[in-house]
Amino acid sequence: MALTNDIKMPSDEELKVPQEITLSTPWFKAVAPYMARKCEDEIKEFMLRRREEEDPRKTLKEGREVTACGVKFLQSLKKSCNKEVDTYASCIDCGSSKLYISKCRPEQRYLDQCVEDNLKIERPPLGYFSKIHVHESSHPPPAPIFRDYKKEADEILHSLPDDRKMRKDYRRFNDWRISAFEN
C-alpha cells in the first residue's frame, strides 16, 4: 500500500494495547503451538479480515483481540506450567546454536502433559497449521471494488503537459545506426 499525504494514519493512542507480548525466541518457540491453538479463532478472524480489507488500519480491533488472547493464555500458562515451560525453553536456548527443538523432546513431553492436564489444550499434530482450514466469519465480506483503469489512465494522460519540442540540433543517442527513415 503506497502512502500519500491524504491517507490518515492511526494515532499512537489507537495503536496502543493494554499489554504487549514480549517473549524471547526460545520461550516463544516453546509456547507458540499452544498459543496458536488456544487463540486460533481470533488469529483466523484477524488474518481473514486483514486479507479481505487490504488495509491494516481497518483491522486494529482484531489485532488487539489477538494480543489480548495471547496475554491471557500466557498468564494462565505461567500459573499452571511455569516450571515445565522454563525447562523446555532453557533446553531450546542451550541445546543448539540454531534453537532446534529436536534435542528437547523429553522436556517437550513434560510440557505437553502439563498443558493438556491443566489447560485442556492438546499439542497440534505436525503440519496442522500448514493445512487449509475454513473459517466462518461473523463479519460480512467487503464489497468488491472494481476500478476503471481506462478512465484513470485518461485522466492522468490529459493532466500531463504537451510533448516537449525537440531541438533541431539534437543528436540522437544511437546516431551511429543508419536508418533510411531517419531525417
pLDDT tens profile 132-148: 999 999 888 888 888 89
Determine the pLDDT at residue 175.
Answer: 57
Instruction: Report pLDDT for 33.
Output: 96
Spatial separation of the C-alpha atoms in residues 86 and 84, rounded to whole Å? 5
Q: 95-101: list long-range contacts, CB under 8 Å, 24+ apart.
A: 99/25, 99/26, 99/29, 101/29, 101/30
pLDDT of 178 reads 61
What parts of the chain have a pLDDT lower than 50? none
Contact by Cβ (8 Å): 103, 91: yes
Q: How far apart are CA 53 and CA 111, in angstroms?
A: 38
What pLDDT does residue 64 have? 94
Check residue 173 and give its pLDDT.
61
How much is the pLDDT for 179? 59
Count the neighbouring beta carbons within 10 Å of the beta carbon of residue 78: 12
Which pLDDT does position 94 carry in this prediction? 94
Kindly state the percentage of the chain with pLDDT values over 70: 90
Q: What is the pLDDT of residue 176?
A: 58
Query: Among 137, 129, 113, 128, which Cα is nearest to 52's?
Result: 137
Pair 123, 112: CB distance under 8 Å? yes
Q: How far is CA 1 from CA 4, 53, 72, in A?
A: 10, 12, 32
Q: How far apart are CA 72 and CA 81, in angstroms?
A: 14
| pLDDT the model gives residue 7 | 85
